[in-house]
Structure 1
Amino acid sequence: MGVPYDMTTQHRPDDALEDFTELIRDEQFFPGGRAPDDPEVQRRRRRSLIVTAVLTVAVLTSGGGYTAWAVTAPVADPVATSQVPEAPTTTAATIALPQEGASALTVSGADAYLGPVEGTIWVASGTDDPRPMASITKLITALVVLDAVPLADAADPGPTLAFDSADYALYDKYYVMGASIAEMPRGSSMSLRDAIATMLVPSASNYAEAVSTWAFGSQSAFVGAARRWLAANGLANTTIVEPTGIDPRNTSTPSDLIALGRLAAAHPVVAPIAAMPGITPPGLDGMSNTNALLGTHGITGLKTGTLGESGSNLLYTATFDVGAAAPLSVVGVVLGTSSRDGANHAVVTLLESISAGFTQVPLAEAGEVVGSYATPWGSSADMVIGADPSVFHWSDTPITVTMETTEPAEWADGETVGSITWTSGPHTASAPLVIEGTIEPPTTWWRLTHPGELG
């Protein structure tokens, strides 16, 4: 498509002749506007001008055929040159793994960013050797009991447990051992749901033994059932010898505990109970959840565990928004930190480092030049990016960029001439390409003196 020409202006042969005569009179053919002093050079220049003037007059006055053609003939489109800009590069996210003990974490809902990681350990630190679980054991106890005596959901109270003198004595037993306990009045009763909640939320060891004995008739029967449950669920590296975790022989590995956490997070009774910040069972005072992180940083569960020199543990679930289409869900565990505060700090720091890896990356600035247009008669314009795009981005995911251009209709300032698109993982961002400047049509004089470049 040729550059449009304004046909509303009348172009006559006399106009061109007058322009040319004016050019000669102003001596624009001579450098600096003056002829050299040498008489011979002046004589030759005058002869050349006279000959050129005579020929031009002859052409321009020969019926107007050439002039009419020259002023209306199409000219070539401007020559476009462009270059796809380099995509921005980003720095890999630094995942702040715990520096003491051992840890592991798996992510759900992030395959588009992290790859196919759901159900596998995404990051880990330390070894995958068995370590004392401490009160994380109670999570296994609850799942084993509910496997034997199912409840429909967390609102189902289930059967009633009546506590006798033997159950009452458990309070003193675990008090002497320095374990977490809760009141259990002699002759009192409680629903199975409330008893499990008392075992999990304030981590009452006396309730863990009482409930497990009630469900299976004896502790040896419970241990046998627990070991069968572990084997059935593929937790081959987890050992349980009693229901509370007070015994350091109750051990598990980070990878087994991630699998346990996934089972607990999917359980219709255990998961809602573990997410409760506190409980007040009938006849008892209110008790807080030992998991102080509940409700912060997206943390929704699951179970704490601290045991003397073995250190502090936390098996946790979290769901948090990083700006993606849907929140991310994680199951993680830290084992063997020096204190409960240390375990909490390690978990929070890790989750914050994951969130920090998701960013909105600026890609370009409006007005950035990515190409140009040029014409033989000297008119030019730029091709520029017409917006300030950004893209949602994870860590150092490669960003690719593509550019498509089209032929403009008017070659005018602000006209859209294509688009540029950046891709980062599942996300794209685009911006229009626009002309900055206007391509002016060639002058009559240029047309008359450049017949070889006319169509």
Structure 2
Amino acid sequence: MIGILLVLSLVATGGYVAWALNAPLPAPTLDWQTPTVETPAAAQIALPSFGASAVSVSGADVYLGEAASGMWQTSGPQDPQSMASISKIVTALVVLEKYPLADASDPGPTITFSKADHDLYDQYYVRGATIAPMPTGTRMSLHDALATMLIPSASNYAEAIARWAFGSVSGFRSAAREWLDAHGLSGTAVVEPTGLDSQNVSTPSDLVAIGKLAAANPTISSIVGTSSLSIPGPGAMQNTNALLGVDGITGMKTGNLGYGTFAFLFTARLDVGILHLDVTGALQGGATRESVNSDVLRILDSIRSGFHDVPVARAGDRIGTVTAPWGGSTDVVLARDVDIFTWSDTPISVAVTMSDAQEFAAGDVVGQVTWTAGPQTESADIIVAERIAPPTDGWRLTHPGELLAE
């Protein structure tokens, strides 16, 4: 009643038109919806279908779970089987426990190779094993002897080092057994230092654990990461690991005793988005070296591609509409493109917060959308897309009730 009387009074005094054309406008209303996001496709880790494998990934626990840095993925039978020349990694670890080197540059004690050591060259030659020259009386640092054992996989050096360190192969065997027991490697047995004996066996999971111990040893990790080396005595040597430096592979050891026994213990560093992943893997029972190498590259590629930037929004995506009482309207939209880094099919949640804005000028920020995937969060402002056209004079003159409501 008071409002009607006021209008009549204004009309009567001739002030209605001036009042209606200048009265404050009622606030527009904002309607909005939470944007939806499709769950990305699940990653498929390309574990080999032939033989057996195990893979551990460190550096991504927040995405993969804490178990990933232990034993993350396995395939095939996890029973002990031949590890062939990967045995030489165990030999190096056992020897270095007795004769530790300070760092990767420490040459360590000097070994003088005897006539008996020299004779190992012919003994392993007739067995078809990989060998390296070892002239009688050769003096060599422990570091260089280990490098000759590991880089070209010289079996005569493996036995010579084991006999130097423990007096005999049987002495080495006892030390290796104690070392394996101390590290809980119950699926592994080592009866000699080269891996030529098929009784040198391990499981994929044990090999991964051995690989981590070797990677933590600066001497071994440096040697297995060396592609070639030349040392007086053995001469020029090439690493048997043809994948060294390929797709992030940083080292470790190959081995085989013929078809169906090809094995590979490997380490790799994958830089994926914001993450730096350390991968340790083991494959056993492979058909050929080529097939095992291909399997390793597929594993690494599938891990790498499982981490991805998921596009969740694009600048201009409509979130809602601002509508004025006089019929004018405009959209509220996202201010920027948004991608969120995540693993596999990690669910992506969406949250919207809106301000209590009463005015909606073009470009005004009226809210924010936040996306969360695992530990990662991304946000984008919600802005007014365009200016709302003002009401006409006719609307103002014919809607005193709306103006009075304001």
Q: Shorter chain as normaliser: what TM range?
A: over 0.9
**Who is 2:152 aligned against?**
202
Match of 1:385 among 331, 334, 356: 334
Match of 2:31 among 58, 61, 81: 81
Kept in 2, the 8 Å contact 1:320–1:329? The answer is: yes
* In 2, Cα distance between equivalents of 1:59 and 1:159: 110
1:282, distance to aligned residue in structure 2 (A):
1.7
**Who is 1:132 aligned against?**
82
1:257, distance to aligned residue in structure 2 (A):
0.8
Runs (4+) of structure 1 moved beyond 6 Å? Answer: 57-60
Supply the AA of the counterpart residue of 2:61: D
Supply the AA of the counterpart residue of 1:196: L
Q: Percent identity?
A: 54
* In 2, Cα distance between equivalents of 1:302 and 1:91: 33
Kept in 1, the 8 Å contact 2:211–2:267? The answer is: yes
For 1:59-74, what aligned pairs fall within 5 Å after superposition? Answer: 61-64=11-14, 66-74=16-24
Match of 1:401 among 323, 330, 350: 350
Kept in 2, the 8 Å contact 1:132–1:310? The answer is: no
Supply the AA of the counterpart residue of 1:263: L
Supply the AA of the counterpart residue of 1:380: S
* In 2, Cα distance between equivalents of 1:162 and 1:400: 66
* 1:179 counterpart = 2:125: no
Match of 1:160 among 92, 97, 110: 110
For 1:25-36, what aligned pairs fall within 5 Å after superposition? Answer: none
* 1:283 counterpart = 2:233: yes
* 1:308 counterpart = 2:258: yes
Kept in 2, the 8 Å contact 1:408–1:415? The answer is: no
Alpha-carbon distance change, 209 to 310 in structure 1, aligned in 2, over 3 angstroms: farther
Deviates more, 1:276-285 or 1:226-235: 276-285
Q: Alpha-carbon deviations, 1:349-400, whole Å to 9, x = none?
A: 1101111112222112222211001122111111112222212122111111
* 1:447 counterpart = 2:396: yes
* In 2, Cα distance between equivalents of 1:370 and 1:404: 12
Supply the AA of the counterpart residue of 1:253: T
Listed as ranges, the gaps of 5+ residues in structure 2 are 1-6
1:421, distance to aligned residue in structure 2 (A):
1.8
Supply the AA of the counterpart residue of 2:319: V
1:60, distance to aligned residue in structure 2 (A):
6.2
Q: Alpha-carbon deviations, 1:250-288, whole Å to 9, x = none?
A: 001111111111100101211111111112112332100
**Who is 2:380 aligned against?**
431
* 1:363 counterpart = 2:309: no
Match of 2:217 among 237, 255, 267: 267
Supply the AA of the counterpart residue of 1:195: A
Counterpart secondary structure, 1:88: coil
1:429, distance to aligned residue in structure 2 (A):
2.2
* In 1, Cα distance between equivalents of 2:395 and 2:218: 84
Counterpart secondary structure, 1:207: helix
**Who is 2:4 aligned against?**
none
1:74, distance to aligned residue in structure 2 (A):
3.3
* In 2, Cα distance between equivalents of 1:153 and 1:195: 16
Who wins on radius of gyration, i.e. which is larger? 1
Normalising by structure 1, we get a TM-score of 0.84
Q: Alpha-carbon deviations, 1:110-145, whole Å to 9, x = none?
A: 112212134321111101100111001011111111
**Who is 1:43 aligned against?**
none
Superposition CA RMSD, Å: 1.8
**Who is 1:337 aligned against?**
286
Kept in 1, the 8 Å contact 2:50–2:285? The answer is: yes
Q: Report which structure shows greater RCO (CA 8 Å, sep ≥6).
A: 2
